[in-house]
Amino acid sequence: MTYIIDSTLREGMQSAHGRFSLEQSVEIASLLVRSGADMIECGHPAIDAIELRRVAAVVEAVGKVPVLAHARAHPDDIEAVAKTGAAWVGIFLGVNEVSRRSRLTGHTLKELYDRIQQSVAHARQLGLRVRFTVEDSSRTDPDELVEAYDIAIEAEAERICFADTLGVLEPDEIAERITYLRRHCAGTDIEVHLHDDRGLALANALAAVTAGATWVSTSVNGLGERAGITDYAAFAANLHYRGTRPLPDGTLLTELSRRVGAYSRSMPDHRRPVVGRDVFHHVAELHVAAVEREPCSYEWMEPGLLSRTRSTHRAGLPENATDWIVDPQVISATELRYHRNGPGDRFVLVDNRFVPSANQYCIARRIPLLDDYGPGHVDTHVHHCDSLFVFLGDDQGYRGLSVKVTLGDEVIAVESPASVFIPSGVAHGYRVVSGAGTYLNHVLAGDYNSSLLDPLGSNT
């Protein structure tokens, strides 16, 4: 059996854009559990009190599914993990020459081995189960690597992790290393943590499983340091295709991808395997005719298994440039979820209805001068993409319009002229307080409603 430990909430936090709040972390962890992840790796609690609380919240949210938190081979780090209530600690330490030069100048190999023994033993005394990782395993001398793992196992580490920290190995090399470890560390579970710097993480993960690795570390959308690590959805779908691990609920993979992409402001591209917008999109005439007769002609998996649908229409902008010019239409705000009719007419300037494949939505609302603007016409909502509010008053210099804007937990008074940038994944709304003018809303999605992230449970 192959087990998946998803590290979006740890490795993903080390990516260029991954910064998950406590609430977002709980949401992601809950979806990961529902989609079949066997263990959740979350955070490095020794960083600060905020990180410790985030990990503790995830531990509470996922119930019986075990949570593992990261720790250096240091007592303070390990004790911080114990405070979160996590069942597992992932202790890591590099022992090769590169690690000794870059981080641990003056430490001998014997001293590093002692730290492994002491840290694993300390964790066990605290009641923690231990996964021990040799950082930069792929560039560590095989004999020194096995010695480090043997010391950890002797101190009662239950799992060892081989980390291709730089993503430099190829599938045959990974298979050789895992076979070597299986022979020398028999009886101990082996995990692999594989970076994607060369674009080989998924291939390497499958090779590792074939060679006998029992656990694979993944991340939603492959999110992680630099080029990231093994992609969760792609790996899970490939195991299903192999017939070695069925998908418990493949319908959640796209939703997970969408939410993690929004919260990290790093959406996967349209051709990303399994979750990309275009992976079940056929446009070549021969392909379209073939899949309509026999879907497996050009599909490796049934789209419905992943809550996807097949598409055979050719997308693209209209060829005639005059079709890119829009005559704005007055449309009721009630066509949008979380909206009610408010003051003034609402002109839709562009969306995919008026310019196919524009992939942008923009409206202008004329706000008249009123004695009472009411409680507001839009409830707080969240988009999976970035968006923008613009407020322009009728007075000279666009002054004269006062509004209150909600951004996350904050309510901010805003005076025109002003624009408010709204990152993807951030709850937002606005309410007119006084004055008259024009309000613009620009969203980087061609269909407003499909860009909304509903509260967890309402549409997943």
Give the per-residue pLDDT at 207. 98
Stretch 186-202: mean pLDDT: 97
State the Cα–Cα distance between residues 238 and 248, nearest whole angstrom: 13
DSSP notation for 302-330: -GGGGT---B-S-----SSGGGG----EE
State the Cα–Cα distance between residues 40 and 68, nearest whole angstrom: 6
Give the per-residue pLDDT at 291. 87
Selecting among 74, 107, 184, 287, the annotated active-site residue is: 287
Stretch 425-451: mean pLDDT: 96
State the Cα–Cα distance between residues 218 and 193, nearest whole angstrom: 8
Higher pLDDT, 19 or 355: 355
Mean pLDDT is lowest, of 189-193, 342-346, 390-394, for 342-346
Higher pLDDT, 340 or 245: 245
**Taking 80 as the threshold, does the pLDDT of residue 99 lie above it?**
no
State the Cα–Cα distance between residues 133 and 349, nearest whole angstrom: 54
**Taking 70 as the threshold, does the pLDDT of residue 53 lie above it?**
yes
How does the average pLDDT of the chain come out, rounded? Answer: 94
**Taking 90 as the threshold, does the pLDDT of residue 108 lie above it?**
no
**Taking 80 as the threshold, does the pLDDT of residue 106 lie above it?**
no
State the Cα–Cα distance between residues 297 and 301, nearest whole angstrom: 11
Band of the pLDDT at 349, cuts 50, 70, 90?
very high
Q: What are the chain's domains?
A: 3-264 (3.20.20.70), 281-315 (no CATH), 321-451 (2.60.120.10)
Stretch 198-222: mean pLDDT: 98
Would you tell me how many other CB atoms lie within 10 Å of the CB of residue 221? Answer: 26
- In percent, the amount of the chain with pLDDT more than 70 equals 97
At 283-306, the pLDDT tens digits run: 888 888 888 888 888 989 999 888
Stretch 198-226: mean pLDDT: 98
State the Cα–Cα distance between residues 171 and 359, nearest whole angstrom: 39
DSSP state of 274: T
Give the per-residue pLDDT at 175. 98
183-187 contacts at long range (C-beta below 8 A, 24 or more positions apart): 184/146, 184/149, 184/150, 185/146, 185/149, 185/150, 185/153, 185/160
**Taking 80 as the threshold, does the pLDDT of residue 395 lie above it?**
yes
Residue 19, classed as helix, strand or coil, is: coil
State the Cα–Cα distance between residues 404 and 237, nearest whole angstrom: 45
Query: Is the Cβ–Cβ distance between 427 and 408 less than 8 Å?
Result: yes
Mean pLDDT is lowest, of 103-107, 164-168, 288-292, for 103-107
Stretch 337-358: mean pLDDT: 91
Give the per-residue pLDDT at 434. 95
State the Cα–Cα distance between residues 401 and 414, nearest whole angstrom: 8
At 220-241, the pLDDT tens digits run: 999 999 999 999 999 999 999 9
Give the per-residue pLDDT at 103. 61
Mean pLDDT is lowest, of 4-13, 131-140, 366-375, for 366-375
* 339 annotated active-site: no
State the Cα–Cα distance between residues 263 and 278, nearest whole angstrom: 22
Higher pLDDT, 317 or 105: 317
Which structure tokens are listed for 216? 């694979």
Give the per-residue pLDDT at 285. 84
Give the per-residue pLDDT at 101. 67
The per-type count for the chain, helices as H runs and strands as E runs, is: 11, 17
Higher pLDDT, 290 or 150: 150
Q: Where are the alpha helices (DSSP H) in 185-274?
A: 201-211, 232-242, 252-264
Give the per-residue pLDDT at 458. 60
- In percent, the amount of the chain with pLDDT more than 90 equals 79
Q: How far is CA 424 from CA 19, 282, 304, 308, in A?
A: 12, 29, 27, 23
**Taking 60 as the threshold, does the pLDDT of residue 178 lie above it?**
yes
**Taking 90 as the threshold, does the pLDDT of residue 353 lie above it?**
yes
Query: Is the Cβ–Cβ distance between 363 and 348 less than 8 Å?
Result: yes
Which structure tokens are listed for 435? 């004055």
Band of the pLDDT at 354, cuts 50, 70, 90?
very high
Residue of 404, 430, 407 whose CA lies nearest to 415? 404
Give the per-residue pLDDT at 453. 94
Stretch 445-459: mean pLDDT: 86
Residue 391, classed as helix, strand or coil, is: strand
Query: Is the Cβ–Cβ distance between 391 and 418 less than 8 Å?
Result: yes
